[in-house]
Amino acid sequence: MKIQLQHFVPTTLALGLILLSPLAHSQSDNARLSALETRISAIEQDTAQVEALTRIQRIQRAFGYYLDKGYFGEAADLFTDNGLVQYGVDGIYTGKQRIRELFTRHGGGSVNAGPGLPYGRFNMHMQLQPMVTVAADGNTAKARWREWAMLGQYEEAIEWGDAILENEYVKENGVWKVSQMRYYTNFVAPYEGGPASLAPVSGDWTTEVGKAFPADAPVNETYQPFPAVYIPPYHYESDLSAIRSDPPLQQFIRSNDAIGRLEALADEHAAKLARARSLRAVENLQSMYGYYLDKGQWEQAASLFTADGTWEFGQWGIYRGPESIARGMTLMGPQGLEQGQLNNYPMLQAVIHVSDDNSHAWGRFRSDVMLARNGQGRWGGGVYENEYVNDNGIWKISKQHYWVTFWGDYDKGWTGEGIIPVEGMSSVVPPDEPPSVVYESLPNTFIIPFHYDHPVTGEPHNDLLRRDQDPREQQQ
């Protein structure tokens, strides 16, 4: 979403101020003009912040597309001249040329050839779930990303990859670039058996690329990959700026003079900007929740809810309030997870709407889940339909509902004998309330209610039309 306000404000509001400035004004008018000038400056600065989020997301997604197709030089050109990549435990590589060769080697390309992958090479690197924080000065930023990789070589190997990226960005001469990329590999696993089949790593697990292509400096921290549980550092651990926006909007009555009309125009564009900032803040909030869920940080995840917020997961029932929500989340495993437990819940495909007064928001997210525990792997899929509240400028979750579409065994898939039924309410960790809607997951089908009408026709959707009975049974 590219915000055009930064181009409009100077040519309309600022132009209006310029035309008014030569005229004689009362002391009261001068004060109003001064206040309006200050507002316009603030609007321009806030617009630049929202625009920065868009540009940073675009850069990182472009990075993934370049790796996909072997455009390693183009990927390196996204970095500053002295940019660095910290790759797993291999070490730190500094400068565009070294970064280019690092990703070329990992992608199986030739350091002496042009762009493109060798025959039969598969090198998909999906850049997902952005959580972006732009500094107050608008010149630097940090972001957390999830990478899911699908890797392989024709007739030789096929692998899954999972990593967390903690990146830093800087604006140089008006252009955003990557200054640091810290790439925390969680696992690279064979497709057959998946991550659940991995044995614990002992000792040095430097990659073959790292051994053949030594780094410029060692990493600042070492860790063990999955099946060990490791939490890459959060850049936003005590920083709420990523989920902050303007507080709910107030209605102003403006006078019908030249200054009043400019004030009303400023009100209108400030409101549009506030909603745009809130949309990004809500997306960040849901991503933050997902990263906490991944690592079994139930208390941190629950702290993102309002005091009376609700958490509903499948058919487990409704848990109300942060303390009860954290308790309900233990149905997924112990706090901090356990050795060999994978709990990946990516937050994808956001559709977010913010109320006109910037006080409430609604969001729909997809989560394609990869789990592992006790040596058993599981696929999952579902949709979130959530509600959010603007708490004096800080967005919080007021209602989180994850509708389970299916659970399936990793090896057998999500049809036939691979299907795993949705679980009901727990007697060990009972909910505060029963499920709001009783339904069954695949092979039963149902339509998860949409919080929005059709974006083109404006027509409401037919929600909860479910086919709960096997059609083979209906024919008998």
Query: What domains, with CATH codes, occur in the chain?
Result: 1-239 (3.10.450.50), 258-474 (3.10.450.50)
d(CA 70, CA 57): 20
Structure tokens that stand for 288 in this block? 């933050």
Per-residue pLDDT tens digits for 249-289:
888 888 888 888 888 888 888 889 999 999 999 999 999 99
pLDDT in tens, 107-153: 988 777 778 899 999 999 999 999 999 998 899 999 999 999 999 99
Based on C-alpha coordinates, what's the Rg of the chain? Answer: 25
d(CA 414, CA 392): 44
Tokens 């339909």: give the residue. 385
Task: Write out pLDDT tens, residues 66-113.
Answer: 999 999 999 999 999 999 999 999 999 999 999 999 999 999 887 777
For 426-440, how does the pLDDT look when each residue is reduced to its tens digit (9 = 90+)?
999 999 999 999 999
pLDDT at 472 over 70: no
Mean pLDDT of 367-393: 95
Residue 12's pLDDT band (cuts 50, 70, 90): low
3-state secondary structure 106-148: HCCCCCCCCCCCCCCEEEEEEEEEEEEEECCCCCEEEEEEEEE
Query: Mean of the pLDDT values across residues 216-242?
Result: 92
Residue 150 sits at φ, ψ, to 5 deg, of -120, 115
| 239 pLDDT above the threshold of 90 | no
332 burial type by CB count under 10 A (0-12 exposed, 13-18 middle, 19+ buried): middle
Residue 344's pLDDT is 96
pTM: 0.90
Q: What percent of the chain has pLDDT over 70?
A: 91
Tell the burial category of 240 from Cβ atoms under 10 Å away from its Cβ (0-12, 13-18, 19+).
Answer: middle
Q: How far, CA to CA in Å, does 457 sit from each of 340, 353, 452, 454, 460?
A: 48, 17, 12, 6, 9
Lowest mean pLDDT among 152-156, 225-229, 357-361, 444-448: 444-448
Q: How many CA atoms lie within 13 A of 336 on its CB side?
A: 3
Q: What is the mean pLDDT of the chain?
A: 90
